[in-house]
Amino acid sequence: MSEGGLLLALLAAATLRGAAPLVLAALGGLFSERSGVVDIGLEGKMLAAAFAAAATAAVTGSAWTGLLAAIGASVLVSLVHGYACITHRGDQVVSGMALNITMSGLTAMLGLAWFREGGQTPLLGAGARFTPIALPAVDTLTPVPLLGRVYGEVLSGHNALVYLAAAAVPLVAWLVYRTRFGLRLRAVGEAPGAVDTAGISVSSVRYRAVIASGVLCGLAGAYLSIAHHASFIRDMSAGKGYLALAALIFGQWRPVPTVGACLLFALADAVQTRLQGTPLPLVGVIPVQFIQALPYALTVCLLGGFVGRAVAPRAIGVPYVKER
Amino acid sequence: MSARATGTASGAGGHGRRRWRARREWLVEALLPLINLAVALALSALVVLLVGESPARALSLLAAGALGSGEAIGYTLYYATSFVFTGLAVAVAFHGGLFNIGAEGQAYVGGLGVGLLCLAAGSWPSGFVVAGAVMAAAAFGAAWAFVPAWLQARRGSHIVITTIMFNFLASSLMTYLLVNVLIKPGQQSPETREFAPSTWLPQLHGVLGALGWGLGQSPLNLATVLALAACVLVWFYLWHTRWGYALRALGKSETAAVYGGIRPARTVIAAMCISGALAGLMSLNEVMGVQHRLMLNFVGGAGYVGIAVSLMGRNHPAGIVLAAILFGALYQGGSELSFDVPTLTRDIVVVIQGLIILVCGALEHALRRPLLWLVRPHARAGPSAPLAHHGS
């Protein structure tokens, strides 16, 4: 195959790697937002999880304990969000923002104080992080034209969390659309009063949704620090939480379109990394910043109703008051 | 998403259901920020313990770093100046029930206005330069807020999300301009050339030094005076003009406001433009007052501090000045603290800031209810009031 084919394969593989944390975080946000709780705190949860994962993995030398710690930290942040927004009916956006800012400071501070490497955690060895795994039967499929290439160079050779992200998509779609919990979740986000009348606790459903968001953001954060990179770097989420939120809105709060948006944003990023400084026919060199800004600009256009229409869950952002 | 931020926006809302209760509410309004601060500081003390340092020592070093000398106080007030602008920006939006997370980006783009003007105005008389820069900062900031405002008012997209997106867009735009267009030729770091000295905002340490208040070499400048003027103007706008009334009415209840003949779309757009203009003015302090050039990320999170300042100042200019001074002291003290205790960087201030937003903003009901209960007189309030209530 030609050089172009190789480039495409590299781009596709980079897209999958870049999309994995976005997919995990966006699907987490989907649970929370479909239940009516705005989840601006994706960023903070990812950051907390990334730090917890790297710190734990550095101390214990095990990637899986790191992953557990990441989920624990992220769920804890989720529960604070739930306590403020569900129990005390606080402003959900303010709470999310507060948690993002707190986590940005807290992770940097603890990282510096505990590891004394300028806010980073120590570099992790192979056992303490998720390393690329080859899918079965790669070698037997390699001679097959096209398919072998796609399987061997695009799909194989990622770390476990990328495959986990891929598995999470059908799982979340099934949970949200095909289970009793999913029905209640969607109902609580549209008409909490009706759910309450049916004798189901709105708070309990929302708490479970917020915890689900915590678990998935925990995976997303762990991906950043112990799979994609080999240590925690301060503010390493670098806006990915907001990007995931944008993808969630772009995907109109539905699992499959949301994942599509994540892939689109990750593709833009992969193209930008590859194209840096290379002139394109007709347009010349596209400034890096232009491609970086693309996901945000697209989301604004969508929100403005210029590209489709984003219809949010009806009860989103509104605390539920049982009795007045 | 519901367009109006609930809860926080109606900050001072007492329903006045019972008069005796309303009479004590001022006490809650005065005490609540202090209690919030105490809770946030107590939580931060836990974090300091977690790091293995003494909270008492950290606090005393922080206070000494912020207020220990004339120069320290000057620095504290210089930081506070930026936070007054961004705090006012967030507060104006809050009064209309809007949450402007975009102060960061609006200030950044406001700086572009100031920078372009100062680059062009090398030979102008200084009075013109200051007036021009104020207008440029306000206009650029307002323009950056206008698009999310218009999208909210006319197309129903949620202002929180669009302002977040606009922060990222501002960051990309400014990086592009500084790296590719405005950069001083033959220089590596992405910043403009230094402005002509005639366009610098006058420093205050000379004037105040003559009055016997030594500020050392602190960067306190004319922007501080402009910030105080902005406070008075915002106070006048909110409580003494029909536009301010319209905004506050809209923030309390959109249906009531519409019934009263207020046009929500127009009010929202005007308020967000004022909010963006105030955020843009923050750049005067930084770009024109201190750096004298346009550089990357000069806003440095001041837009987010504005959220904490506004919430803690109960969305009132007087409260905002006090809260801004507090945060100025935290920022200045925080940078001094890291010299003495290397493990405690200014990140501790970011933690305190986040916790204050959490406690003052998201958890405000959690503390308000018990406080109201404490403040309320427990003697029975005469039989007639509850009976009348039952009868209706």
Per-residue pLDDT of chain A in tens (324 residues, 90 and over written 9): 567 777 888 888 888 888 999 999 999 999 999 998 999 999 999 999 999 999 998 888 888 999 999 999 999 999 999 999 998 888 888 899 899 999 999 998 888 888 877 777 777 777 778 877 777 777 777 777 777 777 777 777 788 889 999 999 999 999 999 999 999 999 998 888 888 888 889 999 999 999 999 999 999 999 999 888 888 888 888 888 988 998 898 888 899 999 998 998 888 888 877 776 677 766 667 777 887 888 888 878 877 776 666 677 888 878 888 765
Q: Which of A98, A242, A303 sits opposite B357 (nearest CB)?
A: A98
Q: Which of B307, B345, B363 sits opposite A112 (nearest CB)?
A: B345
Q: Which of B1, B175, B358 sits opposite A98 (nearest CB)?
A: B358
The C-alpha of A96 sits at a distance from chain B's nearest C-alpha, in angstroms, of 8
pLDDT at B222 over 60: yes
pLDDT at B392 over 50: no
Handedness of CA A51, A54, A55, A56 (dihedral sign): positive
- Which of A151-160, B33-42, B129-138, B283-292 shows the lowest mean pLDDT across its residues? A151-160
**What does the pLDDT read at residue B8?**
40
Chain A residue nearest residue B164, CA to CA? A242
pLDDT at B348 over 80: yes
> Between chains, do B101 and A310 touch, taking CB under 8 Å as contact?
no
B contact test, residue of A35, A85, A233, A303 with most B CBs within 10 A: A303
Beta bridge partners of B295: B191
Chain B residue nearest residue A291, CA to CA? B172
A contact test, residue of B54, B159, B165 with most A CBs within 10 A: B165
pLDDT at B384 over 70: no
ipTM value: 0.87
**What does the pLDDT read at residue B86?**
95
Chain B residue nearest residue A240, CA to CA? B168
Q: Which of B6, B147, B173 sits opposite A318 (nearest CB)?
A: B6
Instruction: Please give the DSSP secondary-structure letter assigned to residue B39.
Output: H
3 state DSSP class of B295: strand
- Select, from the ranges A76-80, B60-64, B96-100, the one with the highest average predicted confidence (pLDDT): A76-80
Residue A8 and residue A267 in contact, taking contact as beta carbons nearer than 8 Å: no
pLDDT at B146 over 50: yes
B contact test, residue of A32, A77, A100, A102 with most B CBs within 10 A: A102
Give the side-chain half-sphere CA count within 13 A for A52. 26
Of B87, B23, B81, B130, nearest to B235 (Cα)?
B87
> Between chains, do B363 and A90 touch, taking CB under 8 Å as contact?
yes
Distance CA A52, CA A49 (A): 5
Residue A75 and residue A214 in contact, taking contact as beta carbons nearer than 8 Å: yes
Check residues B206 and B304 and name the one with the higher pLDDT: B304
> Between chains, do A40 and B164 touch, taking CB under 8 Å as contact?
yes
Which tens digits make up the pLDDT trace of B160-213? 888 988 999 999 999 999 888 878 887 788 888 888 787 787 787 777 777 767
Chain A residue nearest residue B344, CA to CA? A109
Percentage of chain B modeled with pLDDT above 90: 31
Check residues B391 and A145 and name the one with the higher pLDDT: A145
Which residue has 């960087």 as its token pair? Answer: B345
Chain B residue nearest residue A306, CA to CA? B155
Q: Which of A95, A112, A310 sits opposite B362 (nearest CB)?
A: A95
List of chain B residues whose C-beta atoms are within 8 Å of the C-beta of residue A304: 151, 155, 157, 162
Mean pLDDT of chain B: 83
List of chain A residues whose C-beta atoms are within 8 Å of the C-beta of residue B358: 80, 84, 94-95, 98-99, 102
Of B313, B310, B312, B282, nearest to B298 (Cα)?
B282
**What does the pLDDT read at residue A219?**
94
**The token pair that represents B229 in the structure block:** 């003027």
- Which of A263-267, B6-10, B74-78 shows the lowest mean pLDDT across its residues? B6-10
| Domain spanning B15-376: CATH 1.20.120 | no
B371: confidence class by pLDDT, cuts 50, 70, 90: confident
**What does the pLDDT read at residue A220?**
94
The C-alpha of A287 sits at a distance from chain B's nearest C-alpha, in angstroms, of 7
Which tens digits make up the pLDDT trace of B248-288? 999 888 888 889 888 988 999 999 999 999 999 999 999 98
B390: confidence class by pLDDT, cuts 50, 70, 90: very low
List of chain A residues whose C-beta atoms are within 8 Å of the C-beta of residue B355: 98, 102
**What does the pLDDT read at residue B120?**
86
The C-alpha of A111 sits at a distance from chain B's nearest C-alpha, in angstroms, of 9
Q: For chain B, give every domain's residue range.
A: 15-376
Chain A residue nearest residue B357, CA to CA? A98
Q: Which of B172, B344, B348 sits opposite A293 (nearest CB)?
A: B172
**The token pair that represents A63 in the structure block:** 């990637």
**What does the pLDDT read at residue A80?**
94
**What does the pLDDT read at residue B271?**
93
Q: How many CB atoms lie within 10 A of CB A62?
A: 15
Residue B101 and residue B160 in contact, taking contact as beta carbons nearer than 8 Å: yes
**What does the pLDDT read at residue A306?**
67
Beta bridge partners of A158: A133
B contact test, residue of A86, A103, A109 with most B CBs within 10 A: A109
The C-alpha of B160 sits at a distance from chain A's nearest C-alpha, in angstroms, of 8
Distance CA B246, CA B261 (A): 9
Handedness of CA A188, A194, A196, A199 (dihedral sign): negative
> Between chains, do A300 and B357 touch, taking CB under 8 Å as contact?
no
- A3-303: CATH topology is ABC transporter involved in vitamin B12 uptake, BtuC (1.10.3470)
Which tens digits make up the pLDDT trace of B101-118? 999 999 999 999 999 998
**What does the pLDDT read at residue A307?**
62
Rounded average pLDDT over B325-352: 86
Chain A residue nearest residue B47, CA to CA? A106
> Between chains, do A113 and B51 touch, taking CB under 8 Å as contact?
yes
